[in-house]
Amino acid sequence: MPLTKETVRRLMLEKQGFGERPASISKKNIFDAVDRLGCLQIDTINVVERAHYLTLWSRLGNYDKELLHQLAYVDRRLFEYWAHAACYVPMKEFRYYARPMRIRREKYADGYEWARAEPEVMELVLERVRKEGSLSAKDFEHRRKTRSQGWWDWKPAKIALEALFGAGILLVSRRENFQRYYDLSERVLPPSVDSTEPTEEECIRFHALRTLGCLGLASPGDLRTYFQPWSIMLRRTSKQWQAILEDLVEEGKALSFEVEGERNPYYCLAEDSQQVEDSGSEFNDVRLLNNFDNLIWNRKQIQNLFGFEVKLEAYIPAAKRRYGYYNLPILYGDRFVGRIVPKMDRKRGTLIVHSVWHEPWLRPDEDFENKFTGTLQEFAEFHGVDEIEMEEDAPRKG
């Protein structure tokens, strides 16, 4: 008998860390949350808190953000690199990113166009880092001849720093006011870290098993999108990933299941089979997610499994937005039931909620209303404010 989509959703929520929150949150809790997610996306948008802080908050509740900083830049248990996008990644898995680093070094050495960095600029930047230690883009002067054309119109030194970072020659040693500081990789990596490059086959198997562990039940398409092909340099089609999954089934490392309404099978780790039988998590709380949350990276899969369309509208023209520049999906139990459109007014110390949207089918009861109100208050407290300003009297539908 095919599994229900509810079973898939609930196991996914459990594996993604949605459940009972710890009474107090330590550095270990934060590391364990990143570890179970495989990586944690970093993003610049700060209408409210930035994405990496919110992804952890959705699972752990209010915590000290400084602990994440310490894990990455003091304890060196996390490092920054491309995984899904720009992410924090557990340092213990560094070797599986040595291969994409090496491929990028070779591409840049061959004059790979993406880098857009002139060799003499890269040498100058690298030499300064060698001599002076950790540097940021702002430590390099650049007199721009024309007006900046946007986010990716970087000055030459910034392009060189990013190219050297992508090649693993430099790593991010720290951040100040969200500004990256780069240093030689050998001065950032702890001596105990294994940096030997695995084979391509080892990388493929690692990321296949890692994705299954992160999502519980996953389709071949999930394996194409969880760790982005460009980031990890493993360009495989869904059919190729399905063949890899079938090999894992034959080896007894994975199991295959049919899911109602889905043409392709879903797969899970053999060790998670009992959780499939138990139908996954009993999570029934209300959480707010940001649009860079690991759970909703695969927009198509969220539409298929949850019946919810993730809408990140920050990058489209204002006239084409329905919800506004920035919104947070509302998770209630194993369903997405709507979204809020928030903004932090930092000068006034107020969380502004421009609007609340409910899915057309939602009939909110007292349980939902109480949990939603509590979550919104906790969200405000996480931002260090007590006041919440609701600009509209009632939720919208749609």
**How many structural domains are present in the chain?**
2
Q: Which of 155, 171, 188 is the last residue of a domain?
A: 188
> What is the CATH classification number for the domain harbouring 322?
3.40.630
In a domain, 267, yes or no: no
Identify the pLDDT of residue 118: 73
Predicted confidence (pLDDT) at residue 270 exceeds the cutoff of 80? yes
In a domain, 14, yes or no: no
Quick: pLDDT tens for 127-182.
Answer: 999 999 999 999 997 655 545 444 333 588 898 899 999 999 999 999 999 999 99
In a domain, 259, yes or no: no
Higher-pLDDT residue of 117 and 329 is 329
Residue 27 half-sphere exposure toward CB, CA atoms < 13 A: 12
In a domain, 245, yes or no: no
Predicted confidence (pLDDT) at residue 330 exceeds the cutoff of 90? yes
Predicted confidence (pLDDT) at residue 59 exceeds the cutoff of 60? yes
How many CB atoms sit inside 10 A of residue 85's CB?
15
In a domain, 90, yes or no: no
Q: Which of 181-190, 313-322, 362-371 has the lowest mean pLDDT?
A: 313-322
Q: How far is CA 142 from the centre of its chain?
A: 32
Identify the pLDDT of residue 111: 55
Predicted confidence (pLDDT) at residue 28 exceeds the cutoff of 50? yes
In a domain, 62, yes or no: no
In a domain, 36, yes or no: no
List for the chain the helix, strand, coil content (%; round to 5): 45, 20, 40
Q: Which of 147, 163, 188 is the last residue of a domain?
A: 188
Report the range out of 112-116, 154-158, 381-385 with the highest average pLDDT. Answer: 381-385
Q: What is the DSSP string of 269-325?
A: EGGGHHHHHTTS-----EEE--TT-GGGS-HHHHHHHH-------TTS-GGG-SS-S
Average pLDDT value over all residues in the chain: 93
How many CB atoms sit inside 10 A of residue 155's CB?
17
Kindly state the average pLDDT of the residues 373-380: 98
Band of residue 116 on the pLDDT scale cut at 50, 70, 90: low
In a domain, 216, yes or no: no
Identify the pLDDT of residue 276: 87
> What is the CATH classification number for the domain harbouring 164?
1.10.10
Q: pTM of the prediction? A: 0.94
Q: Which of 159, 188, 217 is the last residue of a domain?
A: 188
Type of residue numbered 375? T
**Residue 351: which domain range?**
286-397
